[in-house]
Structures are given as C-alpha cells and as structure tokens.
Structure 1
Amino acid sequence: MSLECLIGIKFNNFVLVASDMSRLQSIIVQKSVDDKMHQLSSHLIMAVSGEAGDTTQFAEYIAKNIQLYKMRNGYELAPASAVHFTRHTIANHLRSREPYFVNSIMGGFDPDTNTPVLFYMDYLGSCVPLDYYAFGYGGMFSLGIMDKDYRPNMTKDEGYALLKLCVNEIKRRFIVNLPKFRVRMVSKDGVKELPVIVAEGEAP
C-alpha cells in the first residue's frame, strides 16, 4: 500500500482521473506541486505511483512507443490496446533484471466505439477494467464514498463533486496530509485539465 493516492472514475461519456500532488520520501514532503499524470495519446492518460525514477521513465517509455506506433501506422492505438501494450511491457520487465515498480490507473475514451475505459494495473502486470478505483491508503477512505454515491450517468459537475467528497474524506481521516489533487477529464473531445481540488481548510 502506498501513501500516495490515485483515483479514477468512469462515467457514461467521460472518465475522471485524479492524483495527489505531494511527492513524499519517507516522512518528508519533497514537493507539493507534483504531476503524477502522463498523457499517452490524445484520448488516454495514465496516473502513476511508485519509485520516482521508475514512474517517470516508465511513463515516458510507454508514451513514446505509443507515439511511434502512430507515426508508423498513421493512426493511434485504441485506449484498450494501449493498456494491453502497457501491461505486456510491465510483464516482460518483471521477468528481467530491470522490473518497473509502478502502479497505475489508466483512463481513456475510444472515439471509434464512443466508450470510456478505466483500468487499474499493478507492478506485477495484473490489469482490471473498473468503473471506479482508488489506489493507496487514501482508497480505504474514498472507495466507500464511491460505493455509496457513484452513478454511471453523472454529469461532469456531479463527478467532480464526487471527487471533492473523496478528497475531503482523505483529508479528514488520513494521518498523512494530501491537501491537493490534480484532476483531468478524458472524453470524446480529448484530455482536459480541470481545476485542482483543494481539501477543506487548506490554503488554495
């Protein structure tokens, strides 16, 4: 389990992905404006958690290979196909001397089928499609809220409000301070940055 927190929620027409903005090393906060999300293609983002070097190198490797595929073939990999390529990469490196210790939530939108996708993938290469998920200790406090209040037909504002409830619950009940969460939405129009969620009682 990780002190970092990643949250992903899939709705009928879009996906919301959020990640805390704290870079932690043991008991020290090294950075409070960290961006743990990486855009892999025009309709796919990945939020990553793990060792700082592994997460950056792995995300860049996946993003560059997806772009290379587009250059060679003239079209982008579908989000689900890109997810399976990512899983294959983790599985191959797991059986080598250079495994990636990276856990990720991947959210995307397939413009061909007009469907959103959300996957959780761990460092062992296990990959599960989900409607919603929260990784890390913060998930212990936010999964119950999503179990209770999640509806697949929520609007963007309702989904954003649901994320706010999760962030405030993490702030209220988790001993580690994760005051700010970066949020991005993926829909048929591509990837869009939403306002940072700041927990109640924290300075913006």
Structure 2
Amino acid sequence: MDIQLGIAGKDFVVLLADKQIINSIMTIKHNQDKIYELSKHVAMSVSGEAGDVDTYAEYIVGNAKLYAFRNDHELPIDSCAKFTRRQLAEALRSRSPYQVNILMGGYNPQLEKASLYRIDYLAAISNVPFAAHGYGAFFCYSLFDRLYKEDLTENDAVQILAACISELDKRFVARHSSYTLKVINKAGLRIIDNEEFLKHVKQF
C-alpha cells in the first residue's frame, strides 16, 4: 500500500511518500519518514518490505556520508543514483536481494540542474521528469502526463502532487492520512508541512 511520488523541475525536485508501515491488514506505524537525506542536495524515497527498507536505506545513507567525509565534498545526485542502482543489482544476483523501490532526487550545484531517478527492485534505472511507485502509480501517471510542464514552479509541483493525492482519496480503496514531502533545490533540503499540504489536497 506504499505511495511514492516524485516530480522534478529545472532547479528543484519534490518527493512525496506516505508515513504508514503496513503488514497485511494491520497498520504498524503512522509516522514513518520514508524519505532519507543522503546529503544537503540529495534525498531518496524508499518503499518495500519494512526490514529491507531500513537495512538498505541505512547502508546507502551511510556510504554517501562516508564518501563526503573522506573526500570533503558531497556525492552528486547522478553518482548517488548509479551507486544505489549498482548495489541493488549486485544484491539481486546474490542470495539476499532487496525488495525495495526507490525515487532519488537531488540538485547538482556545479551543473545548476535538478534530477529525479526512478529505480525499481530489479535495479532498472531511469532519469525522469516525474515518477511513482506503488499502487499510487496506477492513478497518478495520467495526472502527471496531463499537468506536467517543463517550466513548472515548486508551487506548481506541489499542486500536481495534491491533485494526485486527491484522486487517490477518491478512487483508491485504502486511504492514507499523512505524508512526508521534501523539496531539494539550490538552498538544500526543505520539508513541507503535512497540514499545509493537505489544505492543497482539499482544494480539488
């Protein structure tokens, strides 16, 4: 029942993930942050089996921070995405693959460009303007196709994500009540308040 959405502009990326941990018919947690900060300008949203999510996310975050410590500069978004994909591919060919899906977004200060990567549990990777994982993908790609434009602003991106959540509230059998939203841009990473976001959702 995980919901992961991401949308990229020219100089920013917005990532959205639900806050619930679900096992079968039971909700375990309502306040889980599924968007992990790899550096000041890179974050990734991870969903899948709860144990795999925690283990894999901690491994990637730890290695990204270790690289920054050793080299005195952050691993850029493109390198982070390729490193993450390689670790998934190597695990897939072992006896202990990770059942995780990833949306990774970030801003490259040198290139002055934002990027969003979609990586699935089979280690397929693509650089995309918008993406979704989980059941939300069945409902949201049509909205992304219709509403996305190359010159959209951060507010436009939040409005598109709000439209997606509004559609899920109407059509999807399970309803989530809280979300984590994070914006990554030149200034770094910023969290959008859940209550403020839900006000946008109610407008649709």
User: Could you state the TM-score of these two structures normalised by the residue count of structure 2?
Assistant: 0.93
- Counting aligned pairs with the same residue, the percent is 34
SS in 1 for 2:13: strand
Q: CA deviation at 1:137?
A: 1.1
Shifted more, 177-186 versus 38-47: the winner is 177-186
After superposition, where does 1:44-123 map in structure 2 within 5 Å? Answer: 44-123=42-121
**Structure 1 residues 200 and 180: alpha-carbon distance in aligned structure 2, compared to 1, 3 A threshold:** farther
Task: Provide the rounded CA distance (Å) in 1 between the counterparts of 2:136 and 2:90.
Answer: 29
Matched with 1:7 is 5
Structure 2 unaligned blocks of 5 or more: none
Matched with 2:192 is 194
Task: Name the structure where helix makes up a greater proportion of residues.
Answer: 2
Q: CA deviation at 1:132?
A: 0.3
Q: CA deviation at 1:25?
A: 0.9
SS in 2 for 1:66: helix
**Structure 1 residues 200 and 31: alpha-carbon distance in aligned structure 2, compared to 1, 3 A threshold:** farther
How many pairs align? 199
Is the Cα contact below 8 Å between 1:12 and 1:116 reproduced in 2?
yes
Matched with 1:34 is 32
Task: Provide the rounded CA distance (Å) in 2 between the counterparts of 1:144 and 1:200.
Answer: 20
SS in 1 for 2:143: helix
Task: Provide the rounded CA distance (Å) in 2 between the counterparts of 1:151 and 1:120.
Answer: 19
**Structure 1 residues 24 and 200: alpha-carbon distance in aligned structure 2, compared to 1, 3 A threshold:** farther
SS in 1 for 2:97: coil
Structure 1 unaligned blocks of 5 or more: none
Shifted more, 114-123 versus 95-104: the winner is 95-104
